[in-house]
Structure 1
C-alpha cells in the first residue's frame, strides 16, 4: 500500500528552516492529510461510540479494534490514564464526527482477536485511513502483527512523520530499562541484548531482567540468522509485556518480564558497535 502525504518530503525538510509560527501552520495542515488507500471495497457502518483511541463500538453491537495502531491506555480501576490517551480518544471522536458517524471497514486477514473484537482498518467518509491520521499526529504507536499487514508500509511512514516532528508520544518517548518495569502492558524497552537463543518454537533475546519472545510464526518475518546481530547491541523493542511472576509461570533464574515481539519493525538498533558481554 502507498502512504500519501500531501506535502513532499523535501517540503517537510524545508519547514525546519521556516519561522516557527509558519512551520507550525504547515504541520497542522499536513498531519490530518496523511492516509493510506484501501485495497478493497469498503463496508460502511454506523458507529455507536468511541471506546478509546483504537477501539469503536458499532450500532450493530460489534467492537472494532483498529489494525496497526496501539494508543495509550485510559485510566481504569482508579489508575491514571497514560499520557495522550484522552487526546487519542478525542481525536478519534473528532474524525468520527467529521465523517457523520459512518466509517468504512477493510477487514483483516485475521478477522477477530482473542477477545472476539472485529479487526479492521477504518476509513473516514473521504476514504482516508483513520489509523494513519492518528499515527501522523503522534497519538499512538504503529504495531505489526501478521497476517494483518496490508497497510504496514504507509502506516510506518505516518508514524515516522510524527517522530520527525516530535509529535504526541514522540515528544518525550517513554523508554524503560528492564529493571524499571513494574507492571505489564504495552511498553517500549531499551536495553542491551546479552544472548539470543533460537529453536523450533521461536526465539528469545535475553536482556537481563527481561526477555524478548518471538514465537515461531512471527519468526518467519525475520531474515535467517539476523537475530544474532543483536547480541551486544542496544535496542528499543515495542510490544506487550507479560509479568510471568503474576501468572505463576516464572522459574528460578528466568527473567520476570517477557516482551512479546511480533514483527521486525517493532525493534530497532541504537548502537552500531557491539559491546562484548
Structure 2
C-alpha cells in the first residue's frame, strides 16, 4: 500500500513538472518578462535604447541604427500625431526588436516589430489602437497580421485618430475622392461589380466605366498565393471587400495587389 502511494506521488510530481514546462514554453518572456504573442513571437533582432524619434514610424537608436516600424503606414495627415505618440511610448526607453529579416531597406533603415520596455504590446499595435496608423503590407506572419488588423478595426469602430472622419475609409463608389489619393496609402471599401481577366491581369471592377471607376488589379503571377489561401478572385464578384495599398492613377484610380493580405472581407472583422 505504501509503495502504491509513493508511486502515485511520483506520478503527480511528474505531471506537475510537465505542466510547468508547457507553461514556460507558451509564455517565453520578452523585455521585463512580457509574455510574447502575435508579432512578438517573430525572431529576435536584439535590444537597444531609443535616442530619437525621426518621424511617425522611424526610431534612431543609441547605437546609430535607424529602425522603421514594420507592417504599418502613416497617413501624412497624421504624421505629427503619430510622431508625438511614438515619442511618448519609446524615446529614451530600451526596446526589443523582432522580425523575419533585419536587412536594411534602400534608405538604410532596419524594419522591425518593436516592444518598448514597460509595454505589453508592440509599438505598431499601440499606434493602430490610437488611430495614428494603418496596417501596411509585408507582414509575412498570419497571426501578426491578424493582431494588427484587429487593432486597426477597433480604432476605426471607436472613431479614434484618423478614423474620427468617416471619409478616412474611402468609398470605392467615389472614384473622384480616391483619385485625390494617388501616391498615398489608402484603405478602400466597396462591392465588386465584375471580375474580368485581360492579358496577364485580373481586374476587380467597382464600376462600369473602366476609364473612370476604381479597380483592383491582380497579376496572374501571384494567383498561386490566392489559390493557396483558398480564394478564387472570380468568387469575389458581387462581394463587398476592403482593400489597402497605394493608389495609382491609370485609366481610373487603381490599387495593385502585391499580396493576399491586402484584401479583407469586412464581415469577417
- In structure 2, relative to structure 1, the CA distance for the partners of 1:147 and 1:41 (3 Å cut) is closer
Counterpart CA distance in 2 for 1:141 and 1:188 is 8
**CA displacement at 1:221 relative to structure 2:** 4.4
Gaps of 5+ in 2: 1-25, 27-36
1:110–1:103 Cα change, 3 Å: closer
**1:220 corresponding residue in structure 2:** 225
1:205-261 Cα distance to aligned partner (Å, 9 max, x none): 2334333133434860464553223323444322111234xxxxxxxxxx2433133
The 5 A counterparts of 1:1-277 are 37-41=40-44, 43-73=46-76, 82=77, 84-97=78-91, 100-109=92-101, 111-126=103-118, 128-147=121-140, 151-173=144-166, 174=168, 175-176=170-171, 177-180=174-177, 181-182=179-180, 183-197=182-196, 203-207=202-206, 208=210, 209=212, 210-215=214-219, 216-217=221-222, 220-221=225-226, 223-224=229-230, 226-244=232-250, 255-269=251-265
User: Matches of 1:69 and 1:143 in 2, distance apart?
Assistant: 4
Q: Give me the whole-angstrom Cα distance separating, in 1, the residues matched to 2:216 and 2:195.
A: 9
Does the 8 Å CA contact 2:93/2:117 hold for their aligned counterparts? no
Structure 1: give runs of 5+ residues left out of the alignment.
3-33, 74-81, 245-254, 272-277
Deviation per CA, 1:80-126, whole angstroms, max 9, x where unpaired?
xx1x33211100000013xx333211133474445443211011013
Q: Is the 8 A contact 1:187 1:239 kept in 2?
A: yes
CA distance in 1, matches of 2:133, 2:68: 13
C-alpha change, 1:117 and 1:205, in structure 2 (3 Å) is farther
Deviation per residue, 1:151-179 (Å, 9 max, x gap): 21222222232233222222223215223
- Aligned-CA RMSD value: 3.3
Count of paired positions = 218
* Counterpart-to-counterpart distance in 2, 1:148 and 1:36: 8
Offset of residue 201 of structure 1: 5.4
TM-score by length of structure 1 reads 0.65
Q: Give the structure with higher Rg (CA).
A: 2
- Counterpart CA distance in 1 for 2:157 and 2:106 is 34
In structure 1, the residue corresponding to 2:117 is in which secondary structure? coil
1:225–1:104 Cα change, 3 Å = closer
TM-score, normalisation: structure 2:
0.66
Contact 1:135 1:162 in 2 (8 A): yes
SS in 1 for 2:95: strand
CA contact (8 A) 1:184 1:241 kept: yes
